[in-house]
Amino acid sequence: MKKHNFSAGPSILPQEVLQKASEAVLNFNNDNLSLLEISHRSKPFVDVMEHARTLVLELLNLEGKGYKVLFLQGGASTQFLMVALNLLEKRAGYLNTGSWSDKAIKEAKIYDDIYEVASSKNANYNYIPKGYDIPADYDYFHCTSNNTIFGTQIKEFPKCSIPLVCDMSSDIFSRQLDFTKFDLIYAGAQKNMGPAGTTLVVVKEDILGKVSRKIPSIMDYKIQISKSSMFNTPPVFAVYVSMLTLEWLKNLGGIAAIEKENDKKAILMYSEIDLNPLFKGYASKGDRSIMNATFNLVNDDLKETFDTMCRESGINGLNGHRSVGGYRASMYNALPLESVQVLVEIMSELETKA
Amino acid sequence: MKKHNFSAGPSILPQEVLQKASEAVLNFNNDNLSLLEISHRSKPFVDVMEHARTLVLELLNLEGKGYKVLFLQGGASTQFLMVALNLLEKRAGYLNTGSWSDKAIKEAKIYDDIYEVASSKNANYNYIPKGYDIPADYDYFHCTSNNTIFGTQIKEFPKCSIPLVCDMSSDIFSRQLDFTKFDLIYAGAQKNMGPAGTTLVVVKEDILGKVSRKIPSIMDYKIQISKSSMFNTPPVFAVYVSMLTLEWLKNLGGIAAIEKENDKKAILMYSEIDLNPLFKGYASKGDRSIMNATFNLVNDDLKETFDTMCRESGINGLNGHRSVGGYRASMYNALPLESVQVLVEIMSELETKA
């Protein structure tokens, strides 16, 4: 049975990418060797790394603007640490919009003072705070563009005169933004870019080298840049599959094209949530994520019926995170509109049944 | 043409492992979903992680002896840092046997004082120092079991009354040792265990929790243990392929069986190096690595001829590291004896020609 994969991450990847990835595990570059068993310093893999970097800058429209691209390991959770190690000298401002922001704050606090410019923690993060001030004398301001768990997303980024750092793990490459507003963007690959195992960092080089602490080599963005992400052996397979996914996106027409598809999916999904009396959305309407729609059954007695209907239709990964409960439809770039249609039909069928 | 893959890492993996890995990228667990697109918290993947952990303890004969197994990210280079963060309070002793030891020392020095108990740096690491003392009041002693670049290997580990930490990246699972002598073993996967992208850590739990510094969560072995290597999203694919490789090794008969094969390959290789007047070995004879044989041509004029002969026989990855030059035959677990036979025949043919 065909699956409709709403998994929050690791999550759906384009079928043609999976096909090519599967082939490369057996025979990469027609060389009769697996991608997994060649040197990361061999020309075919160095080319993959370079091509992946170029695609990132191209898709984000950041070519020739002083940005460097890194493919690292350790997930966004390691970036919580690296951002602080590389940029935090005296004080930084963080916007707290969910579990991931909260964790980023916690890790940065090991190194120095952190100021929460605003938080939606007391409302269990169901909205995005607005109208806060960012002190102009801080080292940087950090925010999370999309909150996978709660289904909220920053629509308008604040004016910011200090370096703007953004965790875009769950919505990178999904919508057009003026990416030059950001000085450092990071994202775990496993939503819109590739398999778990690599983390994208896009950093404006001129913000680096300003802290006084001694940074461990592997955590030092400047060292990683000087070694083209090959300070040590990179996660070869995850980088290759990311490159394939970025190529797929470029061939589709880039972010402008995928944004239209993502908007269609989100409109369909949220219309059903709002019109169907059996369901209610979790996130504040103006802050709803285009990537992750969170919703609950009004009457939990229908849970078993609904879950069975979902399972029978091949729907996978719809469970909400334990801190919100209910359901979460993750509609990343590779999820076809058809999968949302199937889900919406089931929700509508449940209404007829109930 | 069939390739003979002597690559130093990432390196050869068993063909049946590559086959299964390739299939899982398209359809894992007969679920019509790719291994790359399922949740790491789903039962099928949690089972993979648990099985991989069990296999490690089983193969190393460490079951029920107070050890925990972690599959992390960031390579051995990240362990240089984590070891110091988690264990270094006052002072530690390091044995310097090559570039990797040297880097481990450099990173640990950020945190505290490091004492080099011995070093073979002045002889460009062509031997393993012996007869040194390890101060009994240090926090731990660190060594590198096998030096990929220089082709040396510790045959006899020192008596050590303090925690013994060993980087076994390039010879783990290749030979029988009393692994209970070690308190912490780490190894990047990409030689004997799997693809690049995950790092194995086997740690005796009772050595942890003794330093006063605040350790970043993702760098804290205790936190990683409490979360079963899932503090954040693990490198799903690399862990799965490692599990397949460990299964392959177990089915072969474990470390005892593979050690016999490795010994055969090494004896064949070193006999040719020693008997063929055109070649000379790099490493001191008593310290020669069973995994990586380093050797040079006596007369560099033969280089082009030899390189062409190698290429025409499908030999891949034989170039020595730039710091040693010449050649390096990496003979990891998955390399068949046949590949060494092919190489040795070419060397012998060169002698006839020359």
Beta-carbon separation of A22 and B18 below 8 A? no
The reply to whether B34 and B134 lie within a common domain is yes
Token readout for A344 is 């919406």
- pTM exceeds 0.95, yes or no: yes
pLDDT along chain B (354 residues), means of 10: 94 98 97 96 97 98 98 98 97 97 96 93 97 97 98 97 98 98 98 98 98 97 97 98 98 98 98 98 98 97 98 97 95 98 98 90
Query: Per the domain annotation, does B4 fall within a domain?
Result: no
Residue to substitute from A2, A7, A17, A25, interface B, most B β-carbons within 10 A: A25
The reply to whether A270 and A239 lie within a common domain is no
Dihedral sign of CA atoms A75, A76, A81, A87 in order: positive
The reply to whether B246 and B293 lie within a common domain is no
Q: How large is the ipTM?
A: 0.98
Query: Per the domain annotation, does A126 fall within a domain?
Result: yes
CB proximity list for A104: less than 8 A, separation 6 or greater: A80, A83, A94, A142, A144, A167
Q: Helical H runs in B28-120?
A: 43-59, 75-87, 99-108
- CA–CA gap between residue A34 and residue A27 (Å, rounded): 5
Q: Residue A197 sits in a domain of what CATH number?
A: 3.40.640.10
Beta-carbon separation of A81 and B26 below 8 A? no
- CA–CA gap between residue B210 and residue B207 (Å, rounded): 7
Confidence of residue A106 (pLDDT cuts 50, 70, 90): very high
Segments forming the whole domain that contains residue B273: 254-353
B206 part of contact set with chain A, CB < 8 Å? no
Point out the domain boundary residue: B205, B225, B252: B252
Query: Per the domain annotation, does B169 fall within a domain?
Result: yes
Nearest chain A CA: its distance from B354 CA (Å): 30
The reply to whether A22 and A168 lie within a common domain is yes
The reply to whether B72 and B90 lie within a common domain is yes
Confidence of residue A354 (pLDDT cuts 50, 70, 90): confident
Residue B113 neighbours by CB distance under 10 Å: 11
Chain B residues with CB under 8 Å of A217 CB are: 77, 103, 106-107
Query: Per the domain annotation, does A170 fall within a domain?
Result: yes
The reply to whether B70 and B114 lie within a common domain is yes
pLDDT in tens, A235-278: 999 999 999 999 999 999 999 999 999 999 999 999 999 999 99
Beta-carbon separation of A235 and B73 below 8 A? yes
The reply to whether B185 and B280 lie within a common domain is no
Residue B185 CB burial class (10 angstroms; 0-12, 13-18, ≥19) = buried
The reply to whether B97 and B225 lie within a common domain is yes
- CA neighbor of A196 nearest in space, from B226, B197, B77, B186: B197
In this structure, which amino acid lies at residue A342?
V
Query: Per the domain annotation, does A23 fall within a domain?
Result: yes
Query: Per the domain annotation, does B318 fall within a domain?
Result: yes
Point out the domain boundary residue: A252, A271, A290: A252
Query: Per the domain annotation, does A8 fall within a domain?
Result: no
The reply to whether B268 and B293 lie within a common domain is yes
Query: Per the domain annotation, does A203 fall within a domain?
Result: yes
Taking a C-beta distance cutoff of 8 angstroms, is the pair B72, B56 a contact? no
Query: Which of A5, A81, A190 comes nearest B216 by C-beta?
Result: A81
**3-class SS of residue B207:** helix
Cα atoms in the 13 Å half-sphere on the side-chain side of B259 = 10
pLDDT in tens, A21-59: 999 999 999 999 999 999 999 999 999 999 999 999 999
Strand ordering across the sheet containing B292-297: B279-281, B292-297, B327-330
pLDDT at B1: 80
Q: Which residue has the tokens 């890790």?
A: A107
CA angle B167, B142, B211 (to 5 degrees): 110
**What are the φ and ψ backbone dihedral angles of B34, each rounded to 5 degrees?**
-75, 150
Q: Mean pLDDT score of chain A, rounded to an integer?
A: 97
- CA–CA gap between residue B260 and residue B341 (Å, rounded): 16
- CA neighbor of A152 nearest in space, from A131, A175, A171, A179: A171
pLDDT at B354: 81
Q: Residue A297 sits in a domain of what CATH number?
A: 3.90.1150.10
Point out the domain boundary residue: A252, A284, A306: A252
- Number of folded domains in chain B? 2
The reply to whether B245 and B260 lie within a common domain is no
β-pairing, B91-96 vs B113-119, is parallel
pLDDT at A81 over 90: yes
pLDDT in tens, A177-208: 999 999 999 999 999 999 999 999 999 999 99
Nearest chain A CA: its distance from B38 CA (Å): 6
The reply to whether A192 and A335 lie within a common domain is no
pLDDT in tens, A285-317: 999 999 999 999 999 999 999 999 999 999 999
First and final C-alpha spacing in chain B: 26
The reply to whether A50 and A21 lie within a common domain is yes
pLDDT at A271: 98
